[in-house]
Amino acid sequence: MAVHTATPANPPDQQPDPVHVTDRVGSGSDPFDAGRDPMGGRPRPPVGLYLHIPFCVSLCPYCDFVVVTGHAARGPGSRIEAFVGALHAELTLRADALDAIDGIGGPDRTALRSVYLGGGTPSLLTAAQVAGLLDHIADRFGIALDAEVTLEANPGPTERGDIAGFRAAGVTRLSIGAQSMDPAELRRLGRRHDPVDVRAAIAEARAAGIRSVSVDLLMDVPGQTLASWDATLHAVASLEPDHVSTYQLTLDDPDAEGLTTVEGDHLPVRAGARRWRRRAAAEQDQDRAAAMDARADRVLDAVGLARYELSNRARPGHASRHNLAYWRREPVEAVGPGAHAFDGVTRRWNAARLDRYLAALVPPDDGSPSLPPGGTEVIDDPTVRAETAILGLRLADGIDAAFGEDPRLGPGLAWGMAHELVARRADRLVLTPRGRLLSNEVFARLLP
Amino acid sequence: MPSIPQARLRNFSIIAHVDHGKSTLADRILELTHTIDARQMTSQVLDSMDLEREKGITIKARAVRLEHTARDGLRYGINLIDTPGHVDFSYEVSRSLQACEGAILVVDAAQGIEAQTLANVHLALAQGLVIIPVINKIDLPSADPERVMTELEDVLAMPREEVILASAKEGTGIPEILEAIVERIPPPTGDPDAPLRGLIFDSHYDPYKGVVAYVRLAEGTLHQRESIRLMASGAQAEILELGVFRPQLVPVERLGPGEVGYVATGLKSVADCQVGDTLTASHHPAAQPLPGYKPARSLVFAGLYPLEGPDYPLLRDALEKLHLNDASITFEPESSVALGFGFRCGFLGLLHMEIIQERLEREFGLDLIASAPSVEYHVTLTHGRGEIPVDNPARLPGPSDIEEIAEPWVKVSIITPSQYIGTLMELATGRRGTIGTMEYLDPQRVLITFELPLAEVIVDFYDQLKSRTQGYASMDYEPIGYRQGTLVKLDVLVNGEPVDALSLIVHRDKSRAAGQGLVEKLKELIPRQMFEVPVQAAIGSNVVARETIRAMRKNVLAKCYGGDITRKRKLLEKQKEGKQRMKRVGSVEIPQEAFLAVLRTGDG
């Protein structure tokens, strides 16, 4: 795979050392090393790249991701082709921008360790479109030989796409949006597939030689009982996935959070989805949800799917490398509407609206493409510390016990220990099983 | 501004039931007299407080000076004194009326006379004011001015030929109203050469001009830069500025008898220039002050506490400043085991309490907790040790010290469509009320009066009235004295600890139901904690109701990937702020609204 063809913006002698990547958060002598910019406030090159593919055949009422449906996603009026062109244009502009930054531009930049095509439903892309994007990325950013390349897919026969073709294009990991193995629950969630489709999708992935297969599940959803959850867990366990995400259904309100303005990174919630969420929220039950979480531990631990993050479980060697980068505050580049990037200093996001995204990157009359609208946020030092601890505590590995000595974080961590939400394991602080479900109580107390 | 002779001055108020269009009518009058040009015209000009615009009610009386050329070709100076329409603010209304010789009575052409209309008309008549009846909103499809005229004639003895038909919304009838003001309302009396006497009816504090007193001159003439004295406080001041309200403050050279204006006194202390005091000239003082206002009578009492203890001095300053602006609040320091140091405040009613709390929070940036509201009880102690007032249930003496408890009763007047009589009787009797009189205003509408303990009225009686009558009934109430009652104190224990700010005084027969309602509501309002929390209601050591708030089991952000980190951090920040707005009582965090749970227990 090619590394770089761009002209280096700086002489090689000004290049920094390759970024040191720790295996665990804060395992160095200073617990704040990880997630902190080792170069003193300067951006670092990305270790991963996220591409947001916003198309879905239909909208699930609980989903907050940037998604467009209907004519734009399918059929003669599909805008997918135009969109893929826009992604290429953004990839070029982002790579150019990185190349222009002192110290991290040029051919010596470390190749990406992960690429993630999320959505939306990226499996609506053709294998050729995926191959084109991955080639372009390899060309401009570099993709490491052993990189993890994930593609999210819906399990339905008309939505999961050409899995063998994706594999040939370079995809190594398939993340399947199963959500439940109960047909009635799937219908209430607005999902278009049946449980048998999940089995078929996994079989196809295995046959195609996809190295790592992940399944997403939702708990505390309308109509779900402890028994139906148990059945879903056993059904999924029998399919032998390498990775399972178990998400508590959270019914947030991006409109109320002010995220859906024209410049915002979310789209407004439709009236029908709003009604659905109100009803679903009324059916949620935190005692039952806690029981479901415990049940997931019992069933999935038994088949070797150990929890490595609050909502994620994997067999050894199958933890999501791309997502680990987020929790370790490593730099990740991102393209597509609503996508978020981080360079170690600044968080940057693209606005959510597809029209504006396309208008900037594929301007009419052959104008030259410009970066899409969006925003940035510079993270100040106290927030860096809080984020590092919060994200680190999400991981089973926890954080260095030295965080407890920090004057800002110490009281919140001590409170968590006093309430048995945080425990000390050797030189680490980790969330207890109860603390995992009540983690926000600890996290809110760690914020500056 | 040219001077207008006293014979061509008119002072009037507008009185109306809430929503009958008083503020819109005032807007139209201001427009027609070019007091405010169209460019500056905002809706409900006189309701300048944010709260007033939001709630669509007038809270504070306001004055504005208009000039109008009447049909006789002469130029008249007219002072409009706006008044609140809600039952809680009759005190404010009576003060405004004292500065007037006439009042416009606005009645909705569709709804007719309401309870508050009657109350305000009686206030105006008691002060000998000329009343100009106006039927407003005649443009409404449901308008029935004929019926309303008959009502005015039958109920208030207003001849129908005196009634003006108007639509403030469309501007019809407004010239006729202005002409009636000029023709029917007499000019103010008062000798311009007599020693100066002016009644202070309101005031505000200005950081540059000190206390700015709103004054209505009875006699004498006030000049720019004159030395003045306040007869009750004895304070002396030089006038820094003298002027009228148009409605913004516009300086003038002098004010004569009957005129309404403002005086910037430069005084720094609120206490030196109280509402109701008489202003006179230092060099030629009047012998006798004007009769002041009857002090407002507080009917509802509650403790106001800062969420953060160190804000206590800020709360005291805020209450002092607000008191200058709203003389009807009373306050004195008190302390609560649960809430720390705060103030026992007296209010005209529940709406008044809510408004004061909101004003303190908005205008002074305070975070407050209000304890459960209470009325003032009269407690006769045993062994002839006399009677003490108790306006805080936590201060009620032990049962062995109490000979007898008396509570305030009110006469509630309700005007309602007749089909709701049954449900209203049920409401009143369920609250220990007795039925007084019943009078048909017309075949469909009835004026009923009940006698009820005030304590039963302040707890969502008005909401119940509105919901049981689909919003059609209106009510007003007046105190009718104290009556003995079989009352007991209901204590609330949260996690085994008594929370004095939640204590209530209730009738013995209703104590169990009240306790059950209260603990159920608290269970809803207090969020789950890290541990299980019992909530109990008790009379003495006898627990009458109990609920358990289960321990929190889940508060988790399921997904946290690249796009979520900033968003989730903000959600966590919100949770953190929410925690900061709670009061820690023992080891339990209680949100502010839980302390008002008693108001929301429904018709218990």
For Cα atoms B55, B57, B60, give the angle at the middle one, nearest 5 degrees: 120
**B324 or B265: whose pLDDT is higher?**
B265
Q: Could you say which of A311, A334, A447 has the minimum Cβ distance to residue B558?
A: A311
Contacts of A310 in chain B (CB under 8 A): 556-558, 560
Task: Provide the pLDDT for residue A235.
Answer: 97
The Cα B342–Cα B340 span in angstroms is: 7
Contacts of A383 in chain B (CB under 8 A): 569
For the cut 70, the answer to whether the pLDDT of residue A21 exceeds it is no
Contacts of A248 in chain B (CB under 8 A): 554, 556, 558
**Helix, coil or strand: residue B287:** coil
The answer to whether residue A306 is domain-embedded is yes
What Rg value do the Cα atoms of chain A yield, rounded? Answer: 22
Taking CA–CA distances from A246, the nearest residue in chain B reads B558
Q: Note whether A289 contacts B550, CB cutoff 8 Å.
A: no
Interface of B with A (CB under 8 A): 528, 530, 550, 552-563, 565-567, 569-573, 575-576, 579
Q: Could you say which of B528, B562, B575 has the minimum Cβ distance to residue A342?
A: B562
Task: Provide the pLDDT for residue B452.
Answer: 96
Q: Is residue A346 within 8 angstroms of chain B, CB to CB?
A: no
Sequence letter at residue B57: I
The answer to whether residue A339 is domain-embedded is no
Task: Provide the pLDDT for residue B24.
Answer: 84
> What is the pTM (predicted TM-score) of this model?
0.71
Q: Could you say which of B560, B573, B575 has the minimum Cβ distance to residue A394?
A: B560
Contacts of A445 in chain B (CB under 8 A): 576
Q: Which of B472, B479, B438, B473 is nearest to B458 (CA)?
A: B479
Question: What is the mean pLDDT of the segment spanning B395-419?
Answer: 93
Task: Provide the pLDDT for residue B62.
Answer: 67
Q: Note whether A257 contacts B575, CB cutoff 8 Å.
A: no
The answer to whether residue A392 is domain-embedded is no
Compute the nearest-CA separation of A310 from chain B (Å): 7
Contacts of A436 in chain B (CB under 8 A): 556
B122 DSSP assignment: H
Q: Note whether A447 contacts B572, CB cutoff 8 Å.
A: yes
Contacts of A380 in chain B (CB under 8 A): none
The answer to whether residue A182 is domain-embedded is yes
Q: Note whether A438 contacts B555, CB cutoff 8 Å.
A: yes
The answer to whether residue A191 is domain-embedded is yes
Contacts of A311 in chain B (CB under 8 A): 558-559
The H-or-E segment that residue A406 falls in is none
Contacts of A441 in chain B (CB under 8 A): 530, 552, 555
Question: What is the mean pLDDT of the segment spanning B74-82?
Answer: 87
Question: What is the mean pLDDT of the segment spanning B55-79?
Answer: 79
Q: Note whether A440 contacts B562, CB cutoff 8 Å.
A: no
pLDDT digits (tens, 9 = 90+) for B329-382: 899 999 988 888 999 999 988 888 888 898 898 889 998 988 888 999 999 999
CB pairs under 8 A between A and B: 102
pLDDT digits (tens, 9 = 90+) for B112-165: 888 878 878 888 888 899 999 999 999 999 999 999 999 999 888 899 999 999
Q: Could you say which of B553, B561, B573 has the minimum Cβ distance to residue A323?
A: B561
Q: Could you say which of A293, A338, A419 has the minimum Cβ distance to residue B530?
A: A419
Q: How confident is the model at residue A36 (pLDDT cuts 50, 70, 90)?
A: very low
Residue ranges of alpha helices (H) inside A70-225 are 80-99, 127-140, 163-169, 183-188, 195-208
Query: Which residues pair with residue B335 across a beta bridge?
Result: B341
Kindly compute the dihedral angle of the four CA atoms of residues B557, B560, B565, B566, in this order, to the nearest 10 degrees. -50
Q: Is residue A390 within 8 angstroms of chain B, CB to CB?
A: yes
Task: Provide the pLDDT for residue A22.
Answer: 33
Q: Note whether B553 contacts A252, CB cutoff 8 Å.
A: no
Q: Is residue A347 within 8 angstroms of chain B, CB to CB?
A: yes
- Residue-number span of the structural domain to which A73 is assigned: 37-327
Q: Is residue A419 within 8 angstroms of chain B, CB to CB?
A: yes
Find the helix packing angle between B461-468 and B421-430, rounded to 10°: 160
Q: What is the mean pLDDT of chain B?
A: 87
The Cα B273–Cα B233 span in angstroms is: 7
pLDDT digits (tens, 9 = 90+) for A224-243: 999 999 999 999 999 999 99
Sequence letter at residue B86: H
Compute the nearest-CA separation of B210 from chain A (Å): 41
Q: Which of B139, B200, B130 is nearest to B158 (CA)?
A: B130
Q: Could you say which of B530, B553, B569 has the minimum Cβ distance to residue A287?
A: B553
Q: Which of B61, B21, B1 is nearest to B177 (CA)?
A: B21
Task: Provide the pLDDT for residue A75.
Answer: 81
The answer to whether residue A167 is domain-embedded is yes
Q: Is residue A319 within 8 angstroms of chain B, CB to CB?
A: no
Find the helix packing angle between A381-394 and B565-580, rounded to 10°: 100
Task: Provide the pLDDT for residue A23.
Answer: 37
The answer to whether residue A407 is domain-embedded is no
Task: Provide the pLDDT for residue A399.
Answer: 97
Question: What is the mean pLDDT of the segment spanning A70-84?
Answer: 87
The answer to whether residue A257 is domain-embedded is yes
Task: Provide the pLDDT for residue B479.
Answer: 87
The Cα B293–Cα B276 span in angstroms is: 5
Q: What is the mean pLDDT of chain A?
A: 89
The Cα A134–Cα A137 span in angstroms is: 5
Q: Note whether A248 contacts B554, CB cutoff 8 Å.
A: yes
Q: Which of B330, B323, B241, B257 is nearest to B290 (CA)?
A: B257
Contacts of residue B176, Cβ cutoff 8 Å, sequence gap at least 6:
B164, B166
Task: Provide the pLDDT for residue B205.
Answer: 79
Q: Mean pLDDT: which of A357-361, B235-239, B259-263 is highest?
A: A357-361
Share of chain B above pLDDT 90, in %: 47
CATH number at residue A301: 3.80.30.20
The Cα B520–Cα A249 span in angstroms is: 28
Chain A 26-65, residues with CB within 8 Å of chain B CB atoms: 50
Cis before residue B247, ω within 30 degrees of 0? yes
Are B102 and B75 contacting, i.e. CB atoms less than 8 angstroms apart?
A: no
Q: Count CB-CB contacts under 10 A for residue B36.
A: 18
pLDDT digits (tens, 9 = 90+) for B490-533: 999 999 999 988 999 999 998 999 899 899 999 999 999 999 99
The Cα B255–Cα B244 span in angstroms is: 9
Q: How confident is the model at residue B434 (pLDDT cuts 50, 70, 90)?
A: very high
Contacts of residue A394, Cβ cutoff 8 Å, sequence gap at least 6:
A309, A310, A327, A431, A439, B560
Taking CA–CA distances from A421, the nearest residue in chain B reads B530
The total of structural domains in chain A comes to 1
Three-class DSSP labels, B297-361? CCCEEEEEEECCHHHHHHHHHHHHHHHHHCCCCEEEEEEECCCEEEEEEEECCHHHHHHHHHHHH
Choose, out of B556, B584, B587, the residue to mutate when testing the contact with A (most A CBs < 10 Å).
B556
